[in-house]
Amino acid sequence: MFRWYRYSTRCYVYMPDLPVSVNIERGDEFRNHSWFKRGWTLQELIAPTSVEFFAKDGVRLGDKNMLKSQIQEITGIPVSLLQGTSDVSSFDTEERFRWAAKRQTTRGEDLAYCLLGIFGISMSIHYGEGEEEATRRLKAKVFKSKQRHDEWRKRVENRIWQVPFERNPCFTGRTAELDHIHRQLFTQHHTAKVAITGLGGIGKTQLVIELLFRLRDEYQDCSFLWIPATTNESLLQAYRKAAQELCIPGWDDKETDVTQLVQSHLSNENAGRTVLVFDNADDIGIWVKQRTPKARRMLDCLPKGDHVSILFTTRTTELAIKLISKRECLVELPEIGKRDGKELFRKLLVKQDLLNNEDDVVALLKWLTYLPLAIVQASMYINQNKCDLQTYLSLLSEQEEDVVELLSYDFEGHGRQDSDGKNPIATTWLISFVKIRERDALAADYLSFMACVDTKNIPQLLLPPGPSRKTKTDALGTLQGYSFITIPSVDAAINIHRLSHRKISGSIGGRWP
């Protein structure tokens, strides 16, 4: 006879038929007790953190940790499992079935039902179906569960991590954006595609790198592929490298369309969950135009399936909208704000006492418009030249040419991910300006003109006339798409980003290519 009580992670087993003087080490009374012969005893021993045993008059005999050797001998359950140092899933199915051999239950079906927790599966309970049918259903469930687990383990062993960057230890903030992108990537019933847009230097690439490292820890069976999409050549080269990593037959055949190879392979569910990143997808022509008369557009070369998640970083909203399937998947990245800006600055500065002057810190961050890359660049200049914040602020008040030179200061490391390790804020925007001029000459002319006026409240009537109202609207749309300007409403005055205004105005006179 016995009674047992279970409270959360603790279980108490009362055996009043055992005398207080029972010899647990050598006697058979404890060993042959009916409690150990029950089917449900297995779960009651394994699941709770603590199981305590009591004899007649409530005398405590010990707990499962103290009595682990005796309980292992009686039940066959390994000591490591009783102590909680190993998980039940680490033992093969045959061994777990051996633990249940020769056990007794009041109902025949319970011989199968009592093992559900041991195998970590759920199954409908039908009393009256009989022991044989319940056992048959249990074994079928266990087989499928084992099959799924084996497939998962295989995906874990074969997963690809083709992300050529280390995690940035100075990454700061962006919690809301990270959570939103995560939801969009992993709650879809179709190919999930998310585009992250924003001004050059806003931290798009850094955000994605941080996200991937978090996802790698959470989704152990997921592969991650990084595709630099700056040019057609870099994109195709990365596709071929991905095909090689994935061991796709024909990857080394120069005549084969490698984009089709990768697309077909990853679209197959057997490839497993995959996250692809297309970084710096700024050239709209690569995505919407055919590379050759026979080759397809890159937009048509993306893998498909609800096991596929795709991330794009781009400076242009126009392309971002073409790449995604719904509005929620467009993430327009803002500056990081005062609090996160100060925290990033703190992580970067070598001389922490520079932060003691709160007014100087706020003034500098405000001047830099809380732009992450500008903050990193300023920090590196201050660290390497051992100047204080007042000195740096005074340099920013110099003539335009000096400010442009300051904004063009090269630096390495601290999370910047360009191939040559050097891409200051001025160079980043120069790339954007070149892209704009290639696409829309009128937009480039407007940007140069506005740089000669002011940063705020520029009337649209001041702009040089374009060939038509549509071309003017398109040009302003292009500049907004690259986040160089903002227009609160139709026909409203134009505001130009302060740092881009400084760079462009200081570069008039032939210094822009």
Q: Determine whether 80 is exposed, middle or buried from the number of CB atoms within 10 Å of its CB (0-12, 13-18, 19+).
A: middle
Round to whole Å and give the CA distance between 26 and 324. Answer: 71
Residue ending a domain, among 99, 127, 150, is: 150
Same-domain check for residues 195 and 230: yes
Domain count for the chain: 4
Q: Report if pTM > 0.85.
A: no
Residue 411 lies in a domain: no
Q: Which residues of 37-59 are buried (b: 16+ CB within 10 A; e: fewer)?
A: ebbbbbbbbbebeebbbbbeeee
pLDDT at position 484 over 90: no
Res. 420 pLDDT band, cuts 50 70 90: very low
Half-sphere exposure of 222 (CA within 13 A, CB side): 23
Residue 417 lies in a domain: no
Pick from 89-98, 163-172, 495-504 the range whose average pLDDT is largest.
163-172
Q: Assign residue 276 the CATH number of its domain.
A: 3.40.50.300
Q: Determine whether 457 is exposed, middle or buried from the number of CB atoms within 10 Å of its CB (0-12, 13-18, 19+).
A: exposed
333 within 8 A of 340, measured Cβ to Cβ: no
Res. 99 pLDDT band, cuts 50 70 90: confident
Same-domain check for residues 203 and 103: no
Round to whole Å and give the CA distance between 370 and 383. Answer: 19
Average pLDDT along the chain: 81
Round to whole Å and give the CA distance between 320 and 158. Answer: 32
Domain that holds residue 479: 438-505
Same-domain check for residues 184 and 305: yes
The pair of structure tokens assigned to 280 is: 């710096």
| Per-residue pLDDT reduced to its tens digit, 342-382 | 999 899 898 898 888 888 898 888 888 888 888 887 888 88
* Higher local confidence (pLDDT), 447 or 174: 174
pLDDT at position 212 over 90: yes
Give the per-residue SS3 of 304-348: CCCCEEEEEEECCHHHHHHHCCCHHHEEECCCCHHHHHHHHHHHH
Same-domain check for residues 14 and 102: yes
Residue 422 lies in a domain: no
Look at residue 509 in the predicted model and tell me its pLDDT: 42
Q: Assign residue 459 the CATH number of its domain.
A: 1.10.10
Pick from 7-11, 350-354, 408-412, 456-460 the range whose average pLDDT is largest.
350-354
pLDDT at position 151 over 60: yes
Mean pLDDT of 192-208: 89
Residue 311 lies in a domain: yes
Round to whole Å and give the CA distance between 309 and 194. Answer: 8
Round to whole Å and give the CA distance between 96 and 116. Answer: 11
Residue 127 lies in a domain: yes
Same-domain check for residues 7 and 145: yes
Round to whole Å and give the CA distance between 193 and 165. Answer: 22
Sign of CA dihedral 461, 467, 468, 473: negative
Same-domain check for residues 94 and 49: yes
Half-sphere exposure of 428 (CA within 13 A, CB side): 33
Same-domain check for residues 102 and 191: no
Look at residue 501 in the predicted model and tell me its pLDDT: 55
Look at residue 508 in the predicted model and tell me its pLDDT: 43
Look at residue 414 in the predicted model and tell me its pLDDT: 47
The angle at the Cα of 48, spanning 46 to 54, to the nearest 5 degrees, equals: 95
Round to whole Å and give the CA distance between 233 and 150. Answer: 39
Res. 513 pLDDT band, cuts 50 70 90: very low
| Per-residue pLDDT reduced to its tens digit, 221-267 | 788 999 998 888 888 889 889 888 888 888 888 878 888 889 998 99
Torsion angles phi and psi, residue 139, rounded to 5: -65, -35
Same-domain check for residues 326 and 342: no
Query: What proportion of the chain, given as a percentage, has pLDDT over 70?
Result: 82
Q: Which residues of 238-267 are buried (b: 16+ CB within 10 A; e: fewer)?
A: bbbbbbeebebeebeeeeebbbebbbebbb
Torsion angles phi and psi, residue 146, rounded to 5: -65, -40
pLDDT at position 181 over 90: yes
Look at residue 421 in the predicted model and tell me its pLDDT: 43
Round to whole Å and give the CA distance between 61 and 24. Answer: 8
Same-domain check for residues 316 and 364: no
| Per-residue pLDDT reduced to its tens digit, 319-347 | 888 888 788 899 998 888 889 999 998 99
The pair of structure tokens assigned to 492 is: 């409203």
* Higher local confidence (pLDDT), 52 or 395: 52
Residue 415 lies in a domain: no
Expressed in percent and rounded to 5, the helix, strand and coil fractions of the chain are 50, 10, 40
Look at residue 177 in the predicted model and tell me its pLDDT: 93
pLDDT at position 500 over 70: no
Mean pLDDT of 276-296: 81
* Higher local confidence (pLDDT), 102 or 432: 102
135 within 8 A of 111, measured Cβ to Cβ: yes
Round to whole Å and give the CA distance between 240 and 264. Answer: 14
417: Cβ contacts below 8 Å, ≥ 6 apart: 165, 205, 206, 209
Mean pLDDT of 203-210: 92
Q: Which residues of 155-173 are buried (b: 16+ CB within 10 A; e: fewer)?
A: beeebbebbebeebebbbb
Residue ending a domain, among 106, 131, 150, is: 150
Same-domain check for residues 167 and 124: no
Residue ending a domain, among 126, 150, 174, is: 150
Residue 256 lies in a domain: yes
Whole-Å CA distances, 323 to 199, 213, 512:
18, 24, 30
| Per-residue pLDDT reduced to its tens digit, 33-84 | 988 888 888 888 888 888 999 998 889 999 999 999 999 988 888 999 888 8
212 within 8 A of 162, measured Cβ to Cβ: no
Look at residue 512 in the predicted model and tell me its pLDDT: 39
Same-domain check for residues 200 and 243: yes
Pick from 6-10, 239-243, 399-403, 431-435 the range whose average pLDDT is largest.
239-243
pLDDT at position 269 over 80: yes
Residue 252 lies in a domain: yes
Same-domain check for residues 18 and 57: yes
